[in-house]
Amino acid sequence: MLKIGFFQFEPRFGVVEENLERVVSGLHDVEADLVVLPELAFTGYLFENRRELLSLAEDPADSPTVERLRLLCHERDLFLVTGFAERQGEQVFNSALLIGPEGLVQTYRKLHLFNTEKEYFDPGDTPLEPVEVRDIMIGMMVCFDWAFPETARVLALKGADILCHPSNLVLPLCQQAMVTRCLENGVFAVTANRIGSDTRPRGSLRFTGQSQVVTPKGDILHRATADREELYLTEIEVNLARSKKMTEKNDLFEDRRPSFYTPLIDRKMGSLTWEMNPENVIRAYLSGLEEGDSSKILQLFAEDGVVASPLYGEAGASEFFPRLFRDTLESKISLQEIYHSSWAQHRFAAHFIYDWKLRDGTEVSFVCTDVFELDGNSGKIRKLSIIYDSRHTRSAFDGLKKEE
């Protein structure tokens, strides 16, 4: 069993040391494995401008605030996830820090900035990566990240058991949305919101409180009030987040159909067209190969291939490639162009150039036009490779298009 929870309180704007002491006092005798604090827990939220934010932000590597939290974690044998205004030179991020008895474990920088945050924070640039602590996988997200289901899904796909979610929520939407995030990903979530308000020259914001802990089945173990400070702790069975079964025959992850979700990585939403994505697919397809390893690439392309070349004439792949590899001294491959083919049928083509220097001094360039077909059910790519010399490449592709 693991004991986790949140500390909901009201930070006062701009008084970092006072807010820090409020946290240390609130957790001085806590017995837990993991506690989550709100977003921007020490600075407050409603900044006038970037200059004011920079004056309050700290570099975690040289931060009195982080050092005091480390001491607290050491004293209580505890891990904290806290919101933090992170300064790196002249950049400043709305971040979440994972801090333990030995110090800073991980930093996550908020990917989805909310409203006026865009005026003074730099957009986050850290990947969504869970980290292992005491045999559990912790994934961090910050406040408005809740509105983007991809955030929680990526963390869950990478193994997160618990989503730690520091927040300064002002809309009455997130708490229920996080129930759905837990259900659709089979994970726990701790949302730590703040209470009270920030009243500044530019206006006032009131925060909604109602911090909560939610189970992988969408059960709300506890939801705090909207206006009172609270430290809440509960024990959870982490293994509940490691089964993704919804029914005997349904698994949240195994039943996914990624080949139909491709618009998610295209800013242009609409029908299933991969306007920007064929190149991404090809590069992902080749990403497991070492750079410059043309032999492996050609072997992949030749699985179903027919080969013609000015070097050996027509030959089956099983004959052509061993001869070519035997005679090759140096080789390189470059992706030249993506051709849009019959993408409504999940097909596209790519134009590669292969340059060989053979052991007898002969230099040969081949152009390979590969037609890729994506299997919508399995997500696997099937390919048909035809290698020509450069004079015949375009006509070869035109012929393939007509055959479709």
Find the catalytic residue in 110, 164, 182, 368: 110
CB atoms near residue 242 (< 10 Å): 14
Q: d(Cα 191, Cα 182) in Å, to the nearest integer?
A: 11
CB 151 within 8 A of CB 128: yes
Find the catalytic residue in 39, 58, 86, 117: 39
Find the catalytic residue in 10, 58, 86, 143: 143
The CA-based angle 370-374-377, given to 5 degrees, is 160
CB 6 within 8 A of CB 35: yes
To the query of whether residue 182 is one of the catalytic residues in this protein, the response is no
Q: Which two tokens stand for residue 335?
A: 């992706």
Q: d(Cα 371, Cα 278) in Å, to the nearest integer?
A: 11
**For residue 103, which amino acid is it?**
G
CB 186 within 8 A of CB 161: no
**For residue 88, which amino acid is it?**
Q
Strand, helix or coil for residue 18 = helix
**Half-sphere exposure of 109 toward its Cβ, with a 13 Å CA cutoff?**
16
Q: d(Cα 21, Cα 257) in Å, to the nearest integer?
A: 49
Report the b/e string of 290-317 with b at 16+ CB within 10 A.
Answer: eeeebeebbbbbbeebebbeebeeebeb
CB 38 within 8 A of CB 166: yes
To the query of whether residue 164 is one of the catalytic residues in this protein, the response is no
**For residue 134, which amino acid is it?**
R
- Report long-range pairs for 16-21 (Cβ below 8 Å, ≥24 apart): 16/42, 16/43, 16/56, 16/58, 16/65, 19/43, 19/44, 20/65, 20/68, 20/69
To the query of whether residue 110 is one of the catalytic residues in this protein, the response is yes
Residues in the chain: 404
Q: d(Cα 4, Cα 68) in Å, to the nearest integer?
A: 21
- Annotated active-site positions, please? 39, 110, 143
